[in-house]
């Protein structure tokens, strides 16, 4: 089974160009299934049947996992069996008569436009430097905050940007997204201004140099991006925790609220399927009601 898992992971890299994080997750989940098979004395993959799959799902349920985490693990194993069937390694699919729980659709958490204003005002570099003597990264942190909100970037996408990915003249940033897919996203004037001020504090400004650096002068990790935003939310006295994805959700929600086309938003977010982008329409329902009241001839609000 170990060799088959390795072949499957290589297949995913070659065929779908999955990111390192996705491959890592598949690797972890499949090895968990392999260990479960070993405990249940199923040494050959051909011996796996629907009863083993149901037992594995019950095993995952006992671990008190979140619903979507459980589904992700089962989905990884199901994809593995699909690969084995397509390559004639197996003749029967043990998932055929197994009901797999559906993914829970959760509305994304986002900040209001007023909350974004407070977050930026309380983290303005001169404001921070006046209160935190010796803190050297106020301009970097502020530029990071502005860029993620301005362009709806994932934390990994922000982390992997180089200076040369920014086009200050046209107002765009070149982003390497999931599956190593490249896209170009607009950058607002506030973010561009913050980035210029940040780069003025930098000695190394070559196009190939990482855009955001840590205290050692190396590329800022995506984990550090999350930590910085958490610190900024605390500085703005937010009661709830703020993460990079909340800013990305805010970017999408605010664009839709102000009339952005769903297809255009899909392109900017780098979503493969429009259905992924459509979740943001749920949080924009108040905006839709407002438009309806203003435009429908018999809405009763004329």
Which of 154, 155, 249, 254 is catalytic? The answer is 154
Q: Is 154 a catalytic site residue?
A: yes
Q: Which letter does DSSP use for residue 240 in this model?
A: S
Distance CA(175)–CA(292), nearest Å, equals 36
Which of 118, 174, 197, 245 is catalytic? The answer is 245
Which of 26, 149, 198, 280 is catalytic? The answer is 280
Which of 34, 248, 249, 254 is catalytic? The answer is 248
Q: Is 248 a catalytic site residue?
A: yes
Give the 3-state secondary structure of residue 183.
strand
Question: How many CB atoms are located within 10 Å of the residue 86 CB?
Answer: 10
* Token pair 């703020």: residue: 242
Q: Is 190 a catalytic site residue?
A: no
Which of 54, 178, 230, 231 is catalytic? The answer is 178
Distance CA(301)–CA(297), nearest Å, equals 9
Which of 13, 183, 271, 287 is catalytic? The answer is 271
Q: Is 64 a catalytic site residue?
A: no
Among 239, 225, 38, 9, smallest CA distance to 137 is for 225
Distance CA(150)–CA(144), nearest Å, equals 10
Tokens for 89, please give them.
């390694």
Q: Is 280 a catalytic site residue?
A: yes
Tokens for 155, please give them.
């934390």
The catalytic residues are 154, 178, 245, 248, 271, 280
């Amino acid at each position: 089974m170990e060799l088959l898992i390795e072949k499957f992971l290589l297949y995913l890299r070659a065929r779908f160009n999955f990111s390192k994080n996705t491959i890592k997750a598949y690797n972890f989940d499949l090895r968990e299934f392999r260990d479960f098979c070993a405990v249940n004395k199923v040494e050959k993959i051909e011996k796996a049947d629907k009863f083993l799959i149901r037992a594995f799902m019950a095993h995952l349920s006992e671990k008190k996992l979140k619903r979507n985490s459980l589904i992700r693990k089962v989905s990884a194993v199901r994809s593995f069996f699909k690969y084995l069937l397509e390559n004639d390694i197996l003749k029967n699919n043990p998932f055929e008569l197994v009901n797999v729980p559906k993914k829970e659709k959760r509305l994304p958490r986002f900040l209001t436009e007023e909350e974004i204003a407070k977050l930026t005002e309380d983290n303005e570099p001169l404001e921070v430097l006046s209160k935190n003597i010796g803190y050297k990264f106020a301009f970097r942190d502020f530029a990071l905050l502005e860029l993620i909100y301005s362009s709806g970037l994932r934390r990994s996408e922000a982390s992997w940007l180089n200076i040369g990915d920014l086009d200050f003249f046209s107002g765009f940033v070149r982003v390497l997204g999931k599956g190593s897919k490249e896209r170009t996203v607009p950058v607002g004037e506030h973010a561009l201004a913050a980035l210029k001020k940040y780069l003025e504090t930098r000695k190394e400004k070559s196009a190939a140099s990482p855009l955001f650096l840590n205290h050692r002068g190396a590329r800022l990790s995506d984990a550090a991006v999350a930590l910085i935003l958490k610190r900024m939310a605390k500085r703005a006295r937010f009661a709830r925790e703020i993460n990079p994805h909340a800013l990305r959700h805010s970017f999408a929600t605010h664009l839709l609220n102000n009339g952005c086309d769903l297809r255009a938003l899909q392109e900017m977010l780098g979503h493969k399927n429009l259905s992924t982008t459509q979740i943001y329409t749920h949080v924009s329902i108040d905006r839709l009601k407002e438009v309806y009241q203003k435009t429908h001839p018999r809405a009763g609000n004329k």
